[in-house]
Structure 1
Amino acid sequence: MRILSIHNNYQIRGGEDESRESEECLLRQMGHEVDVYQEHNERVAAIGTIPMALRTVWSKESYNIVKQKLRRANCDLVHIQNFFPLISPSVYYAAKSEGVPVVQTLRNYRLLCPNGLFFRDGQVCEDCMGKFVPYPGVMHSCYRKNRPATVAVATMLTAHRTIRTWTEMVDVYIALTEFARQKFIAGGLPAKKIIVKPNFVNPDPGMGGGSGGYALFVGRLSIEKGLDTLLAAWQILDGKVPLKIVGDGPLASEVMEAIKKIPQVEWLGRRPMSEVHQLMGEAMFLIFPSKWYETFGRVAVEAFAKGTPVIAANIGAIAELVDAGRTGLNFSPGNPEDLAAKVEWALANPNLLAQMRQQVRSEFEAKYTHKENYRRLMEIYEMASSVKSKQFN
């Protein structure tokens, strides 16, 4: 197949960027031709406030670029990973004008929530769920704590609901978990168009030994990721087990200050993926303390590949991924006392923790390998192509 992959990169690279690159590499590895149209959020400041707001709703530039690429390469399918904010939903219409089927991966909740997270003021918020005009988000300046920018996002969502972009211009949506699928259905997307396909890890990093004697956190240093819960739990634990923190983000300075006061906590900053996987493989367990509705949990699946159990907040998609007692443990989200208690249980039961390692690895091999993912992705592409064919017939 000839596939056009479309993605708007984030300023700070994260799981969405990693996952879409892995998918593109897998497609090429399996013999498909993949062209890429991508933008980067570094351009936002140079464009200016009003032009950026207009572009968020409809980018004529992106429309023309995609239309030209499709004509030149004669693509079989367009796979949109993230269109926000520079690319815009105009690319759906460019694909449709050329008769090319469209697949959209739902990597965040942007189609339902102005900030894409269902998270405000340190807790889950669904105030905009089901509202044709997401005015609560505007009232609270939910996107980047900037009201004009939030107005632009809300305008984009409302305009495209009005012209039925989300229901008519996408042939198949990919949700990463059943939890996320149900949220999008509740938000008004057509259930029959949403198929669950998780992310995957490729190449397989191989199982680790788990002999490092430390806990590990990997991810963006931000409030929705539960950094406050994590650090508070380690304050309660008072040095019972070392904690290594890998990642960067807006709470970096707070993490630096906190680790001066909390025993056995080390911040490693950003690290190459090969080093992250090595750290995962030797960790006793990975901590996943998110407080928002994760659409997936790529870091958890990477830990599974290394045979490392995950102690995760019992919320959103991550609660779906971690089977308590078999592939890890669950704790009450935002509750450092409960997290500390689960860590203490793991420390007190090393034999059971060791037994989990094989279960964790088996979970990876059953669900998150590149072979299983490729099989599922081809089924979805065939479904999208079939929908388009029926429309023309």
Structure 2
Amino acid sequence: MRVVVVHNRYRSEHPSGEDRVVDQETELLTSAGHEVLVHERRSDDIAGMSLPRKASVPLLVPWNPAARTELADRLREVRPDVVHIHSTFPLLSPSVVAACTDAGVPCVATLHNYQQVCAPGTLYREGRVCTDCVGGSPLPAVRHGCYRGSPLATAPLALSLALNRRRWWSGVSRFFCISWALRRVLADAGMPGERLAVKYNFVEEPALRRTGEGEYVLYLGRLTEEKGVPLLLAAWDLLRARGGLGLPLVVAGSGPLEPEVAEWARERDDVRFLGLRTREECAELTARAAALVAPSQWLEGFGLVVVEAMAAGVPSVAAGHGAFPELVDDGVSGLLHRPGDAESLAEGLRRIVTHSASMGEAARRRYEQDFSPAAGLSGLLEGYRAAIAARSREPA
């Protein structure tokens, strides 16, 4: 097949799982003999824009006519079999869906988060899961300033959600939902269920896998409240007060809570704070871990870091909501803790250290079954073929 991948890359200082998924899928399709053309924009480019252009960016979030024209012209030139849309915020906009219609090319879209029903895409506000806008108006998001804590910054996203909802639903032949949990939310909000397919993200075979007992418990990710970092700190303090686990906690990542985490870890012999690490360093850290911890407070749409740990034969303790119950077989390939409960998280960490070897083996088997490159390629091609067939059945 000839596939055009459309994506707006995140800023470099905020490493994104979505960017990694796009890169891995592109490489996977290419290695399988398909021709992939990437049509992308980079949020990093905003910094180099003139002041008038920077000021215009929010105005183009709901609809960017130039992006529509540019993509439509390229599609007419290269005549792909299918277009695969990922993120369109902030430089592409949903106008790329109209571009596919203009050029007469079927398109699919991967839904990496909840942006079809939530302006910031998180279903999370003020320390709790929030569904105020799901299935209804996005005005609550503006009122509460759900994006960057600013009503002004949230308004373009909310406007895009209100204006383009039906365009997405009618213009995209097949949506890839990255978990059943995500699909349930979207279907309940009114999205067309016949177009919502579940396709898990895949993870490449790791260069390193765990070979011993593991040296530490690992947190790997953004240092934010919604990722459960304060909860992890509280749970680790509980464990320390009871004598500890016999293994240290290693924290790798960056984010708004980095100063707080660094201060908490300072002068402690049971915690190592590493800050942001490269992808290669993260892979090595994972392979040496006894267990990974993913205590997210918000409803994760997938959980790439958990699956990467599974690929390395490392089990996880994860929050028992969002997509995690689909990824972690509780008591078999890892453990689920009660969301938001530090005592439950501490108990899960204590138990998983004891059963790390057997759970790690089960986690690896689950990876091979559902999250390998072979499974990822099969899901992609099935969705592409369905989109092409749906377009061929449409009246001329």
TM range (shorter): over 0.9
Give, as a single letter, the amino acid of the residue that structure 1 aligns with 2:7: H
Q: Which aligned pairs between 1:209-288 and structure 2 lie closer than 5 A?
A: 209-238=211-240, 239-240=244-245, 241-260=247-266, 262-288=268-294
Name the TM-score, length of structure 2 as normaliser: 0.94
**In the alignment, what sits opposite 1:383?**
386
**In the alignment, what sits opposite 1:374?**
377
- Per the TM alignment, residue 356 of structure 1 is displaced from its structure 2 partner at its CA by 1.4
Any stretches of 5+ residues in structure 1 without a counterpart?
Answer: none
Verify: 1:145 aligned to 2:149, yes or no.
yes
- Per the TM alignment, residue 43 of structure 1 is displaced from its structure 2 partner at its CA by 3.7
- Per the TM alignment, residue 275 of structure 1 is displaced from its structure 2 partner at its CA by 2.3
Give, as a single letter, the amino acid of the residue that structure 2 aligns with 1:214: Y
Query: 2 CA distance for matches of 1:155 and 1:376?
Result: 32
**In the alignment, what sits opposite 1:3?**
3
Q: Which one is further off, 211-220 or 254-263?
A: 254-263
- Per the TM alignment, residue 262 of structure 1 is displaced from its structure 2 partner at its CA by 4.9
Give, as a single letter, the amino acid of the residue that structure 2 aligns with 1:96: T
Residues 207, 361 of structure 1: 8 Å contact kept: no
- Per the TM alignment, residue 271 of structure 1 is displaced from its structure 2 partner at its CA by 2.0
- Per the TM alignment, residue 343 of structure 1 is displaced from its structure 2 partner at its CA by 1.4
- Per the TM alignment, residue 272 of structure 1 is displaced from its structure 2 partner at its CA by 2.4
Query: 1 CA distance for matches of 2:191 and 2:317?
Result: 32
Query: 1 CA distance for matches of 2:73 and 2:104?
Result: 13
- Per the TM alignment, residue 205 of structure 1 is displaced from its structure 2 partner at its CA by 3.3
Residues 95, 102 of structure 1: 8 Å contact kept: yes
Residues 14, 220 of structure 1: 8 Å contact kept: no
Compared with structure 1, are the counterparts of its residues 217 and 184 closer, same or farther at alpha carbon in structure 2 (3 Å cutoff)? same
Residue-pair matches, total: 387
Verify: 1:346 aligned to 2:346, yes or no.
no
Query: 1 CA distance for matches of 2:205 and 2:6?
Result: 23
**In the alignment, what sits opposite 1:80?**
85
Q: Which one is further off, 45-54 or 95-104?
A: 45-54
**In the alignment, what sits opposite 2:186?**
184
Give, as a single letter, the amino acid of the residue that structure 2 aligns with 1:144: R
**In the alignment, what sits opposite 1:120?**
125
- Per the TM alignment, residue 207 of structure 1 is displaced from its structure 2 partner at its CA by 3.0
- Per the TM alignment, residue 74 of structure 1 is displaced from its structure 2 partner at its CA by 1.4
- Partner SS state of residue 261, structure 2: helix
Residues 204, 369 of structure 1: 8 Å contact kept: no
Q: Which runs of at least 4 in structure 1 moved beyond 6 Å after TM superposition?
A: none
Query: 2 CA distance for matches of 1:205 and 1:185?
Result: 38
Identity %: 37
Residues 230, 289 of structure 1: 8 Å contact kept: yes
Compared with structure 1, are the counterparts of its residues 181 and 210 closer, same or farther at alpha carbon in structure 2 (3 Å cutoff)? farther
Could you list the per-position Cα deviations for residues 229-268 of structure 1 after superposition, in whole angstroms to 9, with x for gaps in the alignment? 1111111122432011111122211211121265411121
Q: Which aligned pairs between 1:92-131 and structure 2 lie closer than 5 A?
A: 92-131=97-136
Could you list the per-position Cα deviations for residues 326-361 of structure 1 after superposition, in whole angstroms to 9, with x for gaps in the alignment? 1101111122121111112234x3xx3311121111
**In the alignment, what sits opposite 1:360?**
363
Name the TM-score, length of structure 1 as normaliser: 0.95
Q: Which one is further off, 308-317 or 196-205?
A: 196-205
**In the alignment, what sits opposite 1:302?**
308
Query: 2 CA distance for matches of 1:321 and 1:103?
Result: 24
RMSD: 1.6
Query: 2 CA distance for matches of 1:211 and 1:275?
Result: 19
